[in-house]
Chains A and B, each alone.
Chain A
Amino acid sequence: MTHDDDRLPDALRNAARDYNTPPPLAPADLDDMWSVIESRAFADSQRTPDRAYWATIRRVLPIAAVLLVGVAIGRFSAGSGASPTVPTARVASSDSSMLQEPYQSTTSRYLGQTAALLAALPAEVRAGAADDALHGRAHDLLLTTRMLLDSPAASDPRISTLLDDLELVLAQIVRLQTDDGRSELELIRQALEQRDVLPRLRTAVANISADD
Chain B
Amino acid sequence: MTSPAVAIEAQPYVNREPELIARVVAGDRLAARELYDAHAPRVFRLAYRLTGDDELAREFTQETFIRAFAQLGRFRGDSALSTWLHRVTASVVSNAMRKVKRFRARETDLDEAGLVHAPGSGGDHDLRDKLHRAIDELPEIYRTTLVMHDVEGYTHEEIAKVLGVAEGTCKSRLSVARAQLRKKLASFAKEWME
Contacts and interface: CB of A to CB of B under 8 A. Distances in A.
B115 interface: no
A37 B63 CA distance: 8
A7 B1 CA distance: 13
Contact of A12 (B41, B50, B185): B185
B151 A19 contact: yes
Contacts of B154: none
Contact of A22 (B1, B49, B66, B69): B49
Interface residues of B, number: 49
Contacts of B58: 29, 32-33
A45 B32 CA distance: 14
Interface in A1-41: 3, 6-13, 15-20, 22-23, 25, 29-30, 32-34, 36-38, 40-41
A178 B66 CA distance: 27
A16 B150 contact: yes
Interface residues of A, number: 37
A182 to B, nearest CB: 12
Contacts of B128: 15, 18
Contacts of A52: 27-29
B113 to A, nearest CB: 21
Contact of A37 (B36, B127, B174, B179): B36
Interface of A: 3, 6-13, 15-20, 22-23, 25, 29-30, 32-34, 36-38, 40-42, 45, 47-52, 55
Q: Which 5 A-B pairs have the closest CB atoms?
A: A51-B27, A22-B48, A11-B192, A20-B52, A3-B171
